[in-house]
Amino acid sequence: MKISFASDYTRGAHPDILRALNSNNMNQMEGYGTDEICDRAKEKIKKVCGCPDADVFFLTGGTQTNQIVIDILLKPYQGVVAAATGHIAVHEAGAIEFSGHKVLTVSPLPKEQDYSLGGDVPGNDNQLPGDDAGKLSAGALEKYLEDFYGDGNHEHMVFPGAVYISHPTEYGTLYTKKELTDISEICRKWKLPLFLDGARLGYGLMSSRTDVTIKDIARLTDVFYIGGTKVGALFGEAVVFPRKAPTDHPVPVIKQHGALLAKGWLLGLMFDTLFTDDLYFKISKNAIDMAELLKRGLIEKGYRLFLNSPTNQQFIIVDNEKLRDLSEHAGYSFWEKIDDDHTVIRLATDWATTREDVEELMKYL
């Protein structure tokens, strides 16, 4: 079996989770997440987030979570604002539209951002065409809202009803605390709830180049989720509404979406384990360490980075011929072609990646 850096969800669960599962397996539990393990996990999450009044729900996967949270946030005539590269806008097969809502994509302002995110990486002068490296900029968001509520009649348009950002983004990039604060302030000014997709939240929080903590996120957003699927769990996302969820009956909403797990305690058990002894943070840190090891190796070998990601996803530009070789020995994700001879690929480390894994990959690069 060849080594794979294709994604951060190739393996099962952290061994501690399997141990807990083995140990609890034959206990009889209440159904649908009404059990005491779920309660315990929720308490731990509320504590780590610094929001004792939060509502916490557990769901199975990211698309499901985005669909349900957005459906809870929006009125029927509202849409959700996102970067054009946002996961909900591109890679969820229309799950938001399936529940009746438009994704309102925002164009970045010209030349506003330094897409290289630092410039300390030799040879990295790439800019993503037409987007802010996966991020929604506060300036572009404000311009969008000002235009919408500006002179013309907007009653025939989809009203913005919430703002979606992902952190890390689909390009592995991160918001600074300043950027997140700016977006949060705009959202509050315009009375729009801010939703942060944290499918890879651990890898963002443990980046060596971030100044954003989980408490910042709980303070600055209205709802976010802590991804488990990609960070050590078999599956599962923990949705946190730091100041109460805006729904009186989340269970029928979740059920109606086909998302209410009968053995909901499985989700509770996994998050309980992840938030015991900082496991979530420790294993996230591992992915970051391995990504930095990988990045240094890539730069040493002269690879051009497509962009300078501070998290566990690394994007590099590879010669097509080289790529054919690589594909025989290691797994990666195709990202996009940039010219006839070169391709952008994604290499992702995760909670379980070892130094040996990276070294083996480097042999084929």
Binding of residue 279 to its own copies (CB under 8 A): no
Cα 261 from Cα 254, distance rounded (Å): 9
Task: Report 330-349 residues binding its own copies (CB under 8 A).
Answer: 331, 334-337
Task: Report 10-39 residues binding its own copies (CB under 8 A).
Answer: 10-13, 15, 18, 21-22, 24-31
CB of 292 to its own copies, least distance (A): 21
Cα 288 from Cα 65, distance rounded (Å): 25
Binding of residue 302 to its own copies (CB under 8 A): no
Instruction: Give the residue with the Cβ less far from its own copies, 250 or 297.
Output: 250
Cα 179 from Cα 256, distance rounded (Å): 36
CB of 68 to its own copies, least distance (A): 7
The partner residues of 165 in beta bridges, in order of sequence, read 196
Dihedral over alpha carbons 23, 25, 26, 27 (to 10 degrees): 80
Task: Report 179-218 residues binding its own copies (CB under 8 A).
Answer: none
CB of 204 to its own copies, least distance (A): 18
Instruction: Give the residue with the Cβ less far from its own copies, 184 or 314.
Output: 314
Near its own copies by CB under 8 A, which window of 58-66, 170-178, 183-191, 293-301? Answer: 58-66
Binding of residue 155 to its own copies (CB under 8 A): yes
Nearest to 5 by CA among 197, 291, 227: 291
Alpha helices (H) in 57-169, listed in sequence order: 62-73, 87-90, 95-98, 138-148
Q: Which helix (H) or strand (E) holds 195?
A: strand 194-197
Binding of residue 282 to its own copies (CB under 8 A): no
Site string for its own copies, 97-126 (x = CB under 8 A): xxxxxxx---x-------------------
- Both tokens of 78, joined, read 């509202």
Binding of residue 73 to its own copies (CB under 8 A): no
Size of the site for its own copies (CB under 8 A): 83
CB of 7 to its own copies, least distance (A): 6
**Phi-psi domain of 100 (left: phi exceeds 0; alpha: psi -120 through 50; beta: other):** left
Near its own copies by CB under 8 A, which window of 45-53, 63-71, 172-180, 182-190? Answer: 63-71
Binding of residue 253 to its own copies (CB under 8 A): yes
Cα 83 from Cα 173, distance rounded (Å): 13
Binding of residue 321 to its own copies (CB under 8 A): no
The sheet carrying 342-348 orders its strands as 304-307, 313-319, 342-348, 333-337
Nearest to 221 by CA among 246, 267, 184: 184
> According to CB under 8 A, which one of 92, 131, 142, 179 is a site residue for its own copies?
92
Near its own copies by CB under 8 A, which window of 112-120, 179-187, 245-253, 307-315? Answer: 245-253
Binding of residue 246 to its own copies (CB under 8 A): no
Instruction: Give the residue with the Cβ less far from its own copies, 24 or 276.
Output: 24
DSSP letter at 41 equals H
Helix (H, G, I), strand (E, B) or coil at 149: coil
Binding of residue 58 to its own copies (CB under 8 A): no
- Phi and psi at 233, nearest 5°, equal -95, 160
CA dihedral over 211, 91, 223, 163, signed as positive or negative: positive
